[in-house]
Copies of this chain bind each other. A is one copy, B any other.
Amino acid sequence: MSRAGAPDRLSLNQETVRQWSLPELVAGCAEAGVGTVGLWRDPVRRFGVRETAKLVAGSGLRVSSLCRGGFFTAADRAGRAVALDDNRRAVEEAAELGADALVLVSGGLAEGERDLAEARRRITGVLDELVPWAAGHGVRLGIEPLHPMFAADRCVVSTLGQALDIAERYPARQVGVVADAYHVWWDERLEADLRRAGGAGRIVSVQVADWVTPLPEGVLLGRGQLGDGCVDLRGFRETADAAGYRGPVEVEIFHPGLWARDGAEVLREVIDRYREHVE
């Protein structure tokens, strides 16, 4: 859905304007002409899943993704059962919101664990049970690789190639990958893996944020506004397009500097930067 004023394919991930409540997000997007949003489970649940779904649908907004399920690398069966249960709820929420995809971040190593290969193998144990559940709810799953600097504590899936290896165990209409430029820009195999993903119809979401240094303590909140860093964001988007991707391009920037500003001003800047560096 396109509205006057903003690029057709731009999707605003709500964490980029974390200072906005859900009604502010919906109103702000309408005001700016943004037709698509990415949502996060925490704020959605605080506002109410049903209430969010009603609000979003009433405004004609499309939901490109719900972030996030995953974190199913617990070393023990009980821990993975808890994770599976939580992921089933996430699937239900994505279905209720009509999200294009539920984003899955695998989780990191277990406490004290030093076996990365084993942690990576545990992912599919949970997915084998989650995929049919998601299919039954009409929800597509997107496996997102995170930057290798998160391999220990957030996501043992570190490259698009690894995410694809996992996704390809399941039908493409049910499981694909999420390509976030921030996480994968450094990878010399990125272009080949995007082609591989696109050729198989498995790119379920494309996200953009820029890489800026120095990284802050904890490295989570160090993403840069589009154009402030060193990622060839347009080249990234063009490669995804050349591989057959036609969906939204979601702007997902975690940055306290953006959160401290007026949300509408941040969104205007995002739109300008998107035009200059992505479109």
A186's partner among B158, B185, B186 (CB-CB below 8 A) is B158
Cβ–Cβ contact A149 & B152, under 8 A: no
**Which of A109, A115, A188, A230 has the most B CB atoms < 10 Å from its CB?**
A230
| Across-interface contacts of A148 in B (CB, < 8 A) | 147-149, 186-187
Cβ–Cβ contact B188 & A230, under 8 A: no
Cβ–Cβ contact A211 & B162, under 8 A: no
Cβ–Cβ contact B219 & A149, under 8 A: yes
Q: How far is the CA of A114 from the CA of B228 in the complex (A)?
A: 11
Tell whether A215 is near chain B: CB-to-CB under 8 Å.
yes
Fill in one digit per residue for A232-253: 1 if any B CB lies within 8 Å of its CB, else 0.
1001000000000000000000
Tell whether A78 is near chain B: CB-to-CB under 8 Å.
no
| Residue of B with least CB distance to A113 | B230
- Residues A80-116 near B (CB distance < 8 A): 109, 113-116
Chain A interface size band reads 20 to 34
Tell whether A58 is near chain B: CB-to-CB under 8 Å.
no
Tell whether A153 is near chain B: CB-to-CB under 8 Å.
yes
Cβ–Cβ contact A152 & B213, under 8 A: yes
| Residue of B with least CB distance to A184 | B148
Fill in one digit per residue for A132-166: 1 if any B CB lies within 8 Å of its CB, else 0.
00000000000000011101110000110010000
Fill in one digit per residue for A107-133: 1 if any B CB lies within 8 Å of its CB, else 0.
001000111110010000000000000
| Across-interface contacts of A162 in B (CB, < 8 A) | 188
| Across-interface contacts of A230 in B (CB, < 8 A) | 109, 113-114, 116, 152
Q: How far is the CA of A140 from the CA of B23 in the complex (A)?
A: 63
Contacts known (A148-B187, A186-B116, A230-B114); A153 close to B213, Cβ less than 8 A: yes
| Across-interface contacts of A114 in B (CB, < 8 A) | 230-232, 235
Q: Nearest chain B CB to A121's CB is how many angstroms away?
A: 11
Cβ–Cβ contact A216 & B217, under 8 A: yes
Q: How far is the CA of A178 from the CA of B116 in the complex (A)?
A: 21
Cβ–Cβ contact B115 & A232, under 8 A: yes
A sample of 28 inter-chain contacts (CB < 8 A) reads A109-B230, A113-B230, A115-B232, A116-B185, A116-B186, A116-B188, A116-B230, A117-B188, A120-B188, A147-B148, A148-B148, A148-B149, A148-B187, A149-B149, A151-B185, A152-B186, A152-B211, A152-B229, A152-B230, A153-B213, A158-B186, A162-B188, A214-B217, A214-B218, A215-B215, A215-B217, A215-B218, A219-B219
19 other A-B residue contacts (CB within 8 Å) besides A151-B185, A158-B188: A114-B230, A114-B231, A116-B185, A116-B186, A116-B232, A120-B188, A147-B148, A147-B149, A148-B187, A149-B215, A151-B186, A152-B229, A153-B213, A162-B188, A214-B219, A215-B217, A215-B219, A217-B217, A219-B219
